[in-house]
């Protein structure tokens, strides 16, 4: 199975901050990576797919990058509604494994 490792596990940030979350796969996943945002008690929401393609309706302050086995999610100008947990998922090879999540909290 492909292992997905997210870092950091949690962080504290302030409104307006620029954040970069990272996701590392245990092998090359050829950009078959999605990022999700989850708020308490809610289903996750797709933010980006194919590593860098923004899902329709998602604000442009979210961006994704990377290649091979290393990927990033950047939030440029943190907004109050962005405080949540973020997960990456590889869909290169089944099982389509998730990272353990990064919780973004208010400083």
Interface residue list for another protein (CB under 8 A): 1, 34, 36, 38, 43-46, 49, 55, 87, 89, 91, 94-101
**Is 1 in contact with 98 (CB distance < 8 Å)?**
no
Residue located via tokens 């620029």: 18
- Whichever of 66 and 99 has its CB closer to another protein, that residue is 99
Nearer to another protein, 27 or 100 (CB): 100
- Output 83 or 91, the one with its CB closest to another protein: 91
Identity of the residue, 17 or 46, whose beta carbon is nearer to another protein in the bound complex: 46
Query: Smallest gap, in angstroms, from Cβ of residue 42 to another protein?
Result: 8
The torsion angles phi and psi of 22, rounded to 5 degrees, stand at -120, 155
Nearest distance in Å: CB 1, another protein: 8
User: CB of residue 16 vs another protein: minimum separation in angstroms?
Assistant: 28
For residue 66, CA distances in Å to 2, 19, 24, 39, 58 come to 17, 15, 10, 25, 19
Q: Which tokens is 36 given?
A: 């999700």
Reference 21, options 2, 37, 42, 43; nearest CA is: 37
């Amino acid at each position: 199975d492909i292992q997905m490792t997210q870092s950091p596990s949690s962080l504290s940030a302030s409104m307006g901050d620029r954040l970069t979350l990272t996701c590392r796969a245990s092998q090359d996943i050829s950009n078959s990576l999605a990022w999700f945002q989850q708020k308490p008690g809610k289903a996750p929401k797709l933010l980006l797919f194919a590593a860098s393609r923004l899902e329709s309706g998602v604000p442009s302050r979210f961006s994704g990058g990377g290649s091979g086995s290393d990927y990033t999610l950047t939030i440029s100008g943190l907004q109050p509604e962005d405080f949540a947990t973020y997960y990456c998922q590889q869909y290169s090879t089944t099982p389509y494994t998730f990272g353990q999540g990064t919780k973004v909290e208010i400083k």
